[in-house]
Structure 1
Amino acid sequence: MDTTSTIADLRADHRAAAGVATAATSATSASNAGAGGLRIAPLSAQGALPLVVKPDGGTDWRGQFHAMAAIAAEQLPRVGGVLFRGFHFDDDTAFRAFASAFGHPLLSYEFGSTPRSQVREGVYTSTEYPAHQVIPLHNEQSYTLQWPMKIWFHCVQPSESGGETPIADSRLVYQRLDPAIRERFAQRRLMYVRNYGNGLDLSWQRAFNTEDRAQVERFCRAQRIEFEWKPDGELRTRQLCQAVARHPVTGEMVWFNQAHLFHVSNLAPHVRETLLDVVGSVDELPRNVVYGDGAPLEDDALASIRATLDQCTVRFPWQQGDVLMLDNMLAAHGRGTFTGARRVIVAMAEPAPPGLG
């Protein structure tokens, strides 16, 4: 099959479907059969996130993409995430074709903060952290000023146990946070500080996908990232970013940052102490975050933020073949610990318009 032609045809279908809205795709009446012979229902009675879409007949996604895209176009702004379950994806190429068919070129992983490997153009492994480590909830690349609006996760192989990709409604997180913390973070904003390499974190070459210092500098200037080449040849960056943001489609405010991930308090106490002994000072940590004016974040505020994220978390076990599509501003994601082999791949698309933070 000509993959390029297939993607072009499916994109044309998606453009035609973009304005489709049917009562059958309402999350509140989602127990009914949806458009195009699809079955639609919330994952659980406790909330609308994620909305589950299943085939009501054949499992070939290509023949049903028009209806799948119409559901996503209507429901993503409402619920934040759609789980396509029970469809057949032949291989990584089919997943790439599916994500591409929504109409936006897939993005490369620039200025990344975690290790990933490219599977093929626009498709990456999920974060390659050891199985015993939890990855807390976060919105993809909310530690910078440019992020993808859409993100897809495809479960090629579920783990023997654990390994969920927990999610949370970022609007709900914003609403449930202590108002004093929320307003303080929003007003003072956040400064992310990163020291690359030295065997402690991603090298600058891997984070920026280049060996060329000049290319790194051009990227940093374009993205309003302060940069400094240290005497040992390594790189330090600082960037002032949002703590909250307004969604460009719904107009709703969302909690949108990675303060709880970047802050040194995210590390276990013994790891934190050892790391500080190695690097010598907080300024030399592989990653850290402070208020925009340089003042340190309060540990109790971060503990409150983490508790709120936990309260908003939705978990479900992966099934082989699942594809989870998220609006990256409306829904945060993470990863649980797991045993056994696990393979989840990721694609991202649609750069956010500027000025949302």
Structure 2
Amino acid sequence: MTTNLSRRPGPGQIRRRSVAVAAATAVTVDTPAEPGRPIVVSTRDANVDLATWLGDNRDQLRALLHDRGAVLFQGFGVSGAEELERLVLAVSPEAMNYVYGSTPRSREMRQVYTSTEYPADQTIPQHNELAYARNWPMRLWFLSHRAAETGGATPVADSRRVYERIPAEVRDRFAEQGVMYLRNYGAGLDLSWQQTFETEDPAEVERFCAESGIEYTWLPDGRLRTTQVAQGVVRHPVTGETCWFNQAHLFHTSSLPAEVRGTLLDSLDPLDLPRNALYGDGTPIEDEVIAGIHAAFEAETVAEPWRDGDVMLIDNVLVSHGRQPYTGPRKVLVAMAEPGSADLPGASGR
């Protein structure tokens, strides 16, 4: 079953409504008519301090975020990791680490990281951060420290609308069973466990796994294998809306280039694959199901080009994100905040 979502306006139909938030601060809010596009908060006054505005308008910011799931700030001249951290702390008690991450990043300072460091010619598909885990950040902050010459946008997709596009029988199975994630770390095929868990101490890894419901096995060559069953869908703890929330489409072997997948499947035991995603009961997810998930994300993805100093705040449950290929130097910083989990009241999608 495919849900008809023909609500998108056609060419020339997109309109923006501009509402003054506070004339004294010369800050305006633009809400695009096209579904899924981030709300834009902007100023032309170089004296407006974004951290101060955020602190003074927490309730309004929360309302904007729960409406569209993403808010783009422009014209505030934000630059550098320290300024990004200051924005995070203006509205959240603390930033979070990227422990149990699945992509390469560099730490800029404390809990501020670079965005995923994949080659510039590659697309990073839509995903909700740490949706393969049972705990995740509810808020993601992105700062365009240096915009690319071409491309390099951070597209977003509304997880509520993605959920609606996926056939009911697939949604129901993911909601009931969740997703089992298999990971084998290191050996030149994936991040090492030291990178993933941000420690050199195996005891720290074991402690984290025990607290997070992750099963682990130390292999004879010192490598690590983990499996974890996590949620397939989540009900937002504030809005109550059901959202597609997992990374099965990124971990599943069908998402690899055909020649890479063939080589891995021919040379490795299924348990030794760098990554794979299965239904929560351990049975394989069909390739056509994963293809349908990719198609649902693609249909809902929208992108705004970065400019130097732009900041985007997203609700990590309501909205997924990705990265377009790019040319020229590009640097986007990321900070995560406000822990969430399917154990929060109202959050479980089952």
TM-score (norm 1): 0.88
- Say whether the 8 Å CA contact 1:244–1:253 is kept in structure 2: yes
- Which amino acid in the other structure matches residue 154 of structure 2? T
User: Cα 1:242–1:353, aligned 2, differ >3 Å: closer, same or farther?
Assistant: closer
CA offsets per residue over residues 213-240 of structure 1, 9 Å max, x none? 1111111010000000111111000001
For residue 18 of structure 2, give the secondary structure of its aligned residue in structure 1: coil
Residue 156 in 1 paired to residue 145 in 2? yes
Structure 2: how far apart are the matches of 1:111 and 1:62?
29
Cα distance in 2, alignment partners of residues 277 and 338 from structure 1 = 33
Residues 87-108 of structure 1, C-alpha deviation per residue, up to 9 Å, x if partnerless? 0124321111111211221001
Find the partner of 2:283 among 280, 292, 295: 295
1:10-159 to 2 correspondences below 5 Å: 30-35=17-22, 36-42=25-31, 44-47=32-35, 49-58=37-46, 59-159=48-148
Q: Distance in 2 between matches of 1:95 and 1:259?
A: 31
- Change in 2 beyond 3 A, CA 1:235/1:323: same
Write the letter of the residue equivalent to 1:350: E
> What is the one-letter code of the residue matched to 2:19?
N
Q: CA deviation at 1:247?
A: 0.7
Unaligned 5+ segments in structure 1 are: 1-27
- Give the distance between the partners of 2:66 and 2:330, measured in 1 at CA: 30
Paired residue total: 328
Q: Distance in 2 between matches of 1:61 and 1:190?
A: 39
| 2:3 alignment counterpart | none
Identity %: 48
Which aligned pairs between 1:242-321 and structure 2 lie closer than 5 A?
242-278=231-267, 280-321=268-309
Helix, strand or coil at the partner of 2:290: helix
3-state DSSP of counterpart to 1:110: coil
- Distance in 2 between the 1:243 and 1:131 partners? 30
Q: Which residue of 1 aligns with 2:164?
A: 175
- 2: CA distance, partners of 1:266 / 1:101: 39
1:265 and 1:272 in contact (8 A); partners too: yes
- TM-score, normalising length: structure 2: 0.90
Structure that is richer in helix per residue = 1
User: Matched residues in 2 for 1:88 and 1:56: separation?
Assistant: 10
2:238 matched to 1:231?
no
Which one of the candidate residues 332, 338, 342 is aligned to 1:350?
338
Q: CA deviation at 1:68?
A: 5.0
SS at match of 1:348: strand
Counterparts in 2 of 1:88 and 1:127: CA distance versus 1, 3 Å:
same
| Cα pair distance change 1:48/1:334, threshold 3 Å | closer
Letter in 1 for 2:78: F
**Structure 1 position 179, deviation (Å):** 1.1
Q: Using the alignment, how far apart are the partners of 1:48 and 1:209 within structure 2?
A: 34
2:322 equivalent to 1:326:
no
